[in-house]
Structure 1
Amino acid sequence: MTRLISAGRDTVNYPDRGATARRPLPAGYHHLHHRTRIGQGRTVFEAAGTAVTTFRAHRASGVRVRTPGGGAVRPGLRAEVGIGLGPLRITAPCQVIWTAYEPTRTGFAYGTLPGHPECGEESFLVEIDADGAVWFTVTAFSRPDRWYTRLAGPVVPLLQHGYARWLGRHLRALASGA
């Protein structure tokens, strides 16, 4: 069952709350859709789902994630995601918009909060097919919200796609026990 945070309970900086849970993605944004095969079987699915919903996959890929408390993501949870080093670190405040804890799908989406370099939403979803194949999908819509992301122009979508691929590789390693 996909749980969506109710409107008015958050302060995301874009109007299309929850759009990664449905299609088509909203117009006026850059769209990202990247799918990676993670492995095979229920054990891989469960390990990958846990790694995604606890931010373990993000952390393993080199991203710093700060959340209050611990445990699995839930709608309304606020997180600060950081990339880079020292004075070149960019922090990105986010809020979990929806979660999916289902027999064949596990994951979540977070939306950007004021202070994030982009505005939009990104989902991270692990799915298992009827034949047991396990897939990881990153879906996002975003546009620049800071001067430096506007200045970077078309480089930002390339970096986002590269990160989705990088995250998929790390998740595959985590789920396989490597």
Structure 2
Amino acid sequence: MFFLSWGRPSPENQKACLDKAGSFNYDGKYKGVTAGSVSSLQKDQMLSDEGYLLNHARVLIGSGKGTYEKGKNALQNWGHFQMNWTFVEPTTPIKSGAKFCVCVKEFLPWLMMPLQVVYVNENKSAAKVKSSFSFGSGTLQGHLLAGEERFSVELDENNQVWYEILSISKPAHFLSFVGYPYVQLRQKHFAKESTNAVLKHVTAD
């Protein structure tokens, strides 16, 4: 099962997708795992043994509290997904349990990928971090991949602001299994384009 739309998916199309999607399609023991550190995931042999691959990108997007607040606002309004080939409805609430579709244009059709927010974390004045905001979402039935992804923005002790993407994933459908090298390329492309979208947001007047 997967979800296609020949035109740009409407809110009604996305609601129909989410109504059919059902529950998470990855092992419950990994729910919330992306809230941990990159190093802990890299050392987790069980993840590797079960076929999950780690995808990570961390980019400096500026400095200062103002840039951090703009970066946080970008994430809270799904600005990191608003591109001509992918989007999330910007009114989708960033709260645990909220379901949403990542809509992606692949050649002629659009794909609708159902997910659910697993956690939302905001920290202030933690060790080596002045402020950070992050949320993680897990894939639902009907998503071509199985796994979890975290987006975060962080103001560190040196007053630098970082945008980070961290995910674990593996194929959940025959199409993604056959085309997984292409999927990995698309993940890297998304990381670059998403960073540009956030940078555009934080540098806007």
Please, what TM-score do these two structures have when normalized by structure 1?
0.86
Paired letter, 2:80: A
**Structure 1 residues without counterparts, runs of 5 or longer:** 1-9
Say if 1:118 and 1:143, in contact at 8 Å, map to a contact too: yes
Runs of 4+ in structure 1 deviating by more than 2 angstroms, as ranges, are 23-28
- In structure 2, what is the equivalent of residue 14 of structure 1? 26
Deviation of 1:153 after TM superposition, in Å, equals 2.4
Deviation of 1:56 after TM superposition, in Å, equals 2.1
CA separation of 1:109/1:30 partners in 2, compared to 1, >3 Å: closer, same or farther?
same
Q: Distance in 1 between matches of 2:170 and 2:204?
A: 36
- In structure 1, what is the equivalent of residue 70 of structure 2? 47
- In structure 2, what is the equivalent of residue 107 of structure 1? 134
- Give secondary structure in 2 for the equivalent of 1:102: strand
- Give secondary structure in 2 for the equivalent of 1:148: helix
- In structure 2, what is the equivalent of residue 34 of structure 1? 57
Q: Would you say 1:124 and 2:136 are equivalent positions?
A: no
- Give secondary structure in 1 for the equivalent of 2:154: strand
Say if 2:74 and 2:201, in contact at 8 Å, map to a contact too: yes
Q: Distance in 2 between matches of 1:153 and 1:87?
A: 19
Q: Distance in 1 between matches of 2:52 and 2:147?
A: 8
- Give secondary structure in 2 for the equivalent of 1:175: helix
Which of 56, 59, 74 is matched with 2:79 structurally? 56
Give per-residue Cα distances to partners, 1:81-116, cap 9 Å, x unaligned. 111068521110000011122331112111000000
- In structure 2, what is the equivalent of residue 158 of structure 1? 185
Deviation of 1:165 after TM superposition, in Å, equals 1.6
- In structure 1, what is the equivalent of residue 95 of structure 2? 74
More helix by share: 2
Say if 1:30 and 1:157, in contact at 8 Å, map to a contact too: no
Deviation of 1:157 after TM superposition, in Å, equals 1.3
Say if 2:54 and 2:166, in contact at 8 Å, map to a contact too: yes
Which of structures 1 and 2 has the bigger CA Rg?
2
Q: Would you say 1:91 and 2:103 are equivalent positions?
A: no
- Give secondary structure in 2 for the equivalent of 1:66: coil
Deviation of 1:57 after TM superposition, in Å, equals 2.1
Q: Distance in 1 between matches of 2:182 and 2:77?
A: 29
Say if 1:53 and 1:108, in contact at 8 Å, map to a contact too: no
- In structure 2, what is the equivalent of residue 148 of structure 1? 175
CA RMSD of aligned residues (A): 2.0
Q: Distance in 2 between matches of 1:31 and 1:112?
A: 15
Paired letter, 2:182: V
- Identical amino acids, percent of aligned pairs: 26
Give per-residue Cα distances to partners, 1:145-171, cap 9 Å, x unaligned. 112111112221121022112101110
Please, what TM-score do these two structures have when normalized by structure 2?
0.75
